[in-house]
A = this chain, B = another copy of it.
């Protein structure tokens, strides 16, 4: 039981350290120091920093509130917008720092670790499938353009979001979020109306 708790503390510390510093800049000692555990105990719980990174990615993914995308008591397009608003607010609260751990690992380590690359690919795939589910419902409700391919559009939206976080971090401002919401929700997803015709 004590061991389980130490393992959990290491995973929580790893999420925070990887997220704030990056994969390469966060050493095993940084992580065990942050967890308040001896560095020597690390390898009782994890084979490598790489294998810890995959567990950290799963724990981070579970904090993305993806289940909210399927909450049928809220209109699907509203759910989708609230999802990205939650993610935006989290980044604003962090002073526009940290971004998304999944995207960060994708940019920094995906080329160099097949294990982490697989974790990133699966995380993005699951996330996109949840977004796609909300898009399908929104199309049925008539609030999203009916001629969009929901799976393709979901992957595109998620990728646009990951790039938006990079822009927000580089400018330390929320302007990139405005670009995302206005363009994605105001234009891309919006059903055609007479008024919007050129």
Neighbouring B residues of A175 by C-beta, 8 Å: 155
Q: How many copies does the complex hold?
A: 2
A residues 106-161 in Cβ contact with B at 8 Å: 106-112, 117, 120-121, 124, 145-149, 152-153, 155-156, 158-161
Q: Is A162 in contact with chain B by the CB < 8 A criterion?
A: yes
Which of A98, A170, A182 gathers the greatest number of chain B CB atoms within 10 Å? A170
Q: Is A34 in contact with chain B by the CB < 8 A criterion?
A: no
The verdict on A103 contacting B171 (CB below 8 Å), with A191-B198, A198-B191 known, is: no
Q: Is A76 in contact with chain B by the CB < 8 A criterion?
A: no
Neighbouring B residues of A160 by C-beta, 8 Å: 156, 159-160, 163
**Contact across chains for B166 and A159 when beta carbons are under 8 A apart:** yes
A residues 85-104 in Cβ contact with B at 8 Å: 97-99, 103-104
**Contact across chains for B170 and A106 when beta carbons are under 8 A apart:** yes
Other CB < 8 Å A-B pairs besides A97-B111, A106-B170, 15 of them? A22-B108, A99-B111, A147-B187, A147-B197, A152-B178, A155-B175, A155-B179, A156-B179, A159-B163, A159-B167, A159-B179, A163-B163, A192-B196, A192-B197, A192-B198
